[in-house]
Amino acid sequence: MIDRLVTVGEGLAVFRTDSVDGLRRAPDVTVSTGGAEGNVVMAAARLGLAATWLGRVGADGLGERVVRELRAEGVDVRAIVDPAHPTGLLIKEVTAGGRTDVTYYRALSAGSALSPSDVDRLELTAGTLVHLTGITAALSASARDAVERLLARASEAGCTVSFDVNHRSRLWSTVDAGPTYRTIARCADIVFASVDEVGLLLPGWIGEQATAAEAADALAADGHRHVVVTDGAHGSAARIDDVTTLGTPVPVDVVDTVGAGDAFVAGYLVALSRGDDVETRLRLASQLGAAACVHAGDWEGVAAWSPADVGRDLVTR
């Protein structure tokens, strides 16, 4: 039984402008927060699963905002305030073509200073689901050591471990990232990846035209017992042992896809914690992913989620 979700990652301040001139001439900027792990735990907490986030923030107003917004969404926050490093920043600008461009300012951030001793502050039990993403491992060598330490502690405590590849090419190359992703995935009970990321877990795999189901089957053939593969508007697939189940996407008018994958993961994990069947897990995951897409913020669409907005409700909220 899963009674709590625990994750470790970087909380980011988010500056967002809807001006097609970007920051060059934007009359104002919307300030919010982001970060994949925070997006996941905020969605999980809203759906009733106890959720803990641990990370480093700077001794600055942006760090205070990250902590405040996580706590306001019901998350148990274990923030380490780092006076030597600033809170990381993500800037989102809308281009004339309607595309959202994302720029990171994460070098030497507080999140990048995460260390193995930090994760020793977490209490882990057999009922804990430890969720990790490839982003945390990409931040620095010490952050990768922290991930390794958390995996070791999770194994000792008998935790369930989930891993979302969530590759960020602006943080590191596929050549550098692949071996680390594969190591983490081998330690995970559940692996999440997009169709485009499957090749990072299967060197030499050629699947440019593969469906989510084909990609999930390929991961299963490589020894992963429980995998979930997403393919955007084309849907998703979960492969557990020898059974592949397809997930149907929920159509919405997309405003911004940033955060949709995190919301999808949160929905799946919450439904898993409740003992729901695979079809229900994929449906709730798709609902939350769709909800994230209808808002320009990373997590606000899920915070405002109503089942009527994106389809039939499958859980009691």
Per-residue pLDDT tens over the stretch 265-307: 999 999 999 999 999 999 999 999 998 888 877 788 887 766 5
Domain that holds residue 126: 4-310
196-202 long-range contacts, Cβ below 8 Å, gap at least 24? 197/165, 197/166, 197/167, 198/229, 200/165, 200/167, 200/174, 201/165
pLDDT in tens, 107-157: 999 999 999 999 999 999 999 999 999 999 999 999 999 999 999 999 999
Q: Is the pLDDT at 317 greater than 50, yes or no? A: no
* Residue positions annotated with a catalytic role: 262
Average pLDDT of the chain is: 92
pLDDT at 98: 61
Query: Mean pLDDT throughout 234-256?
Result: 92
Query: Mean pLDDT throughout 102-110?
Result: 92
The percentage of residues in the chain with a pLDDT greater than 90, rounded to a whole number, is: 75
pLDDT at 101: 84
Q: Tally the domains of the chain.
A: 1
* Band of pLDDT at residue 252, cut at 50, 70 and 90: confident
Cα–Cα distances in angstroms (integers) from residue 274 to residues 6, 49, 194, in the given order: 16, 9, 24
Q: Is the pLDDT at 314 greater than 60, yes or no? A: no
State the pTM of this model: 0.93
Q: How far apart are CA 292 and CA 294, in angstroms?
A: 6
Contact 302, 288 (CB under 8 A): yes
Span of 21-25, 107-111, 179-183, 189-193 with lowest mean pLDDT: 21-25
Q: Which of 236, 192, 233 is nearest to 214 (CA)?
A: 236
The percentage of residues in the chain with a pLDDT greater than 70, rounded to a whole number, is: 95
- Judge whether 316 lies within some domain: no
- Judge whether 259 lies within some domain: yes
Q: Is the pLDDT at 17 greater than 80, yes or no? A: yes
Contact 194, 237 (CB under 8 A): no
- Judge whether 315 lies within some domain: no
The CB-side HSE value for 9 (13 A sphere, CA atoms) comes to 27
* Band of pLDDT at residue 96, cut at 50, 70 and 90: low
Q: Which residue has the tokens 């439904």?
A: 271
Contact 9, 53 (CB under 8 A): yes
Return the CATH number at 263.
3.40.1190.20
pLDDT at 303: 79
- Judge whether 317 lies within some domain: no
Q: Which residue has the tokens 């020898």?
A: 242
pLDDT at 308: 57
pLDDT in tens, 195-210: 999 999 998 887 778 9
